[in-house]
Amino acid sequence: MVLLMFGRPAGAASIEQQALDFGTLVIINSDRYGAVIVKDDGAISTSGDIYILKEGRPAELILTGIPTGTRVTMNLVGPVNLQHDVQGNGSADFKVSLNGFPKYAYGDEFGEAQVFIGGKLEINTSSKQYSDGNYSSTTNLEISVDY
């Protein structure tokens, strides 16, 4: 599971409806490249020795307090770092990036903009195995209002 934290423009608010979730995965071989891609439309694909036991989903964010027709711009602020739920374990690392999110959205007649954000999880080829357990992170997405 990947949790997202969002910055927000002055006078507006963000409500996370659901976090980006890559699902429950089985990784057969950690020394071969593999990836899981969750697109913003909910489509999921895999490559390499990664198998999905439970499908994930894109993040859903509702921006509120946006004047009708006002453009909202989104930019990734920093990298995504996954943390395993067991401190100090020797698990192999994942690389995660956000993708599929719109660079901008517009406020609707209710002053809201709904945004779906996808992501890509990649195996960093390693001689280490992936430990069982939960992995999570916090990511900052900068959101600005263009007047």
- The per-residue pLDDT for range 104-142, each reduced to its tens digit, is 888 899 999 888 888 888 887 766 777 787 777 777 666
The number of distinct structural domains making up the chain is 1
Q: Per-residue pLDDT for the chain (147 aa), expressed as one digit of tens each?
A: 333 344 444 556 777 888 889 999 888 877 788 899 999 899 999 998 889 999 999 989 898 888 898 888 877 666 666 666 655 566 777 788 887 777 788 889 999 988 888 888 888 776 677 778 777 777 766 666 565
Does 3 reside within a domain? no
Residues composing the chain: 147
Residue 55 lies in a domain: yes
In-domain check, residue 56? yes
